[in-house]
Amino acid sequence: MTETEAIAYDVVVLGAGPVGENVADRIRAGGLTTAVVESELVGGECSYWACMPSKALLRPVIARADARRLPGLSGAVQGPLDTDAVLSRRDTYTSHWQDDGQVGWLDGIGADLYRGHGRLAGPRTVTVTGPDGTVTTLTARHAVAVCTGTRAQLPDLPGLDGVGPWTSREATSAKAAPGRLIVVGGGVVATEMATAWQALGSRVTLLVRGKGLLNRMEPFAGELIAKALTEAGVDLRTGTSVASATRENGTVVAVTGTGDCIEADEILFATGRAPQTDDIGLDTVGLEPGSWLDADDTLRVTGTDWLYAVGDVNHRALLTHQGKYQARIAGSAIAARAAGDPVTAEPWGAHSATADHDAVPQVVFTDPEAGAVGLSLAEAEQAGHRVRAVDVEFSSVAGAGLYGEDYRGRARMVVDVEQEILRGVTFVGPGVGELVHSATVAVAGRVPIGRLWHAVPSYPTLSEVWLRLLEAYRDS
């Protein structure tokens, strides 16, 4: 092991995923020097094992489903997908798991990249152990930003070590469709991967411990997606846990809590995420290794004046776009503090991540799609708001008919009846992902219901659902 002399920067960023990249970008825009430390690929989980490959797998699935609903086109798309072509396109979207382009982007903004395992070594100090064992010490004049994200969390099951289970990484990077696939979980990863691999030729069994899918969304979202998955051929079993899993002669054997045995070629556990903070030196600054890092609205870790936790590691909102939003906030706050400027908690300011509390958007890329922002009805009531839910079916919208026959979908807005603003909005149906940003603007901007009447939707588009929702609220 060779140690080098310490190198000083204004800011050191641990992790070069989308969050770390955006922190570095805002830091450099603020005139500060920055070092970025990465042990894997620059671009992180989203670029290579999550957002980009999963959506590349799903897009042909959704396009075929949309085409099958259209008379005049449906007959031409009844055959199977070309799985090899879909996987090849997926590989292109991941840049074949090469990060040259992302490295070039970091270089273009003037950030210095250090490849290796980064660990805190006391306040404002990071050591980087490179692939050749060389240890480089970096010191930060102003801040260290932890942007190390999360990893898949596997359950503690008898026999699992010998199974070689899939996590989200294997599910999005597999080189072929398994003949039989068990998916364990009922959240976003589970539903999206069940959708993708069933369409790509696998026989999918989806095991859900709870009563339904997507339990953090409005109940009807999970119900509509469950119906569609079942119709597509997925064997969906709710109220079903996995008691053990083994691999016998190459075959996975999963035993459920009720004693049923299910055989498959692979098993995917989509059962949660854990913070990537086990071995980053948190103990050297008085924090617990492996813990989520509590951060304020400027993303500064509670009890420190130099350590920031940005993205998934702070457990505020485990979504790439939300982490990038936090990164912009954190980078601006760090630069402002370095310049001696005041950083306040003013709700509408550039240094306060208020959207994490009440305006987090998400899209689930299943068929049908589900998209939501803000609070569900149950969440709003739990938070103590006086609210009313207004529901409409997309069958009342002329634009939905253009998507083809038997368009199934629903929209809900959760209205604060005291303030006459929206606390949350949910859409389910083909193509609704593109509606979510309009809802995000309404929720984040606290646009009064009275003003929303003057945001006129174009005819005939799905966005006319806004008019139907407003009419339903007025008439109820």
With beta carbons less than 8 A apart as the criterion, state whether 24 and 13 touch: yes
Helix or strand (DSSP H, E) at 206: strand 203-208
pLDDT given at position 239: 97
Q: What is the mean pLDDT of residues 354-372?
A: 97
Looking at residue 224, the DSSP 8-state letter turns out to be H
Examine domains 7-43+99-151+275-355 and 160-271 and report if their fold is the same.
Answer: yes
Q: Does 334 have pLDDT greater than 90?
A: yes
> Rounded to an integer, what distance in angstroms lies between the CA atom of residue 409 and that of residue 391?
11
Look up the CATH number of domain 160-271: 3.50.50.60
Within 8 A by CB and 6+ apart from 234, the residues are 194, 198, 204, 205, 206
Domain spanning 7-43+99-151+275-355, CATH architecture: 3-Layer(bba) Sandwich (3.50)
With beta carbons less than 8 A apart as the criterion, state whether 176 and 45 touch: no
Model confidence band, residue 1 (pLDDT cutoffs 50, 70, 90): low
DSSP string for 81-143 = --HHHHHHHHHHHTGGG--HHHHHHHHHHTPEEEESEEEE-STTEEEEE-TTS-EEEEEEEEE
Q: Does 2 have pLDDT greater than 90?
A: no
- Global pTM? 0.96
Q: Which of 358, 309, 361, 362 is nearest to 333 (CA)?
A: 309
> Rounded to an integer, what distance in angstroms lies between the CA atom of residue 113 and that of residue 101?
13
pLDDT given at position 476: 85
Look up the CATH number of domain 368-475: 3.30.390.30
> Rounded to an integer, what distance in angstroms lies between the CA atom of residue 438 and that of residue 145?
32
> Rounded to an integer, what distance in angstroms lies between the CA atom of residue 253 and that of residue 96?
32
Question: Range with the lowest mean pLDDT among 29-38, 151-160, 290-299, 367-376?
Answer: 151-160
Query: 307-309 and 369-374 as β-strands: parallel, antiparallel, unpaired?
Result: unpaired
> Rounded to an integer, what distance in angstroms lies between the CA atom of residue 212 and that of residue 411?
19
Q: Does 397 have pLDDT greater than 70?
A: yes
Average pLDDT, the chain: 96
Encoded tokens for 357: 């509390």
Q: Does 475 have pLDDT greater than 90?
A: yes
What residue ranges do the domains of the chain occupy? 7-43+99-151+275-355, 160-271, 368-475
pLDDT given at position 132: 94
**Tens of pLDDT, residues 412-432:** 999 999 999 999 999 999 999
Q: What is the mean pLDDT of residues 115-140?
A: 97
pLDDT given at position 90: 98
Model confidence band, residue 344 (pLDDT cutoffs 50, 70, 90): confident
Q: What is the mean pLDDT of residues 65-74?
A: 95
pLDDT given at position 338: 96
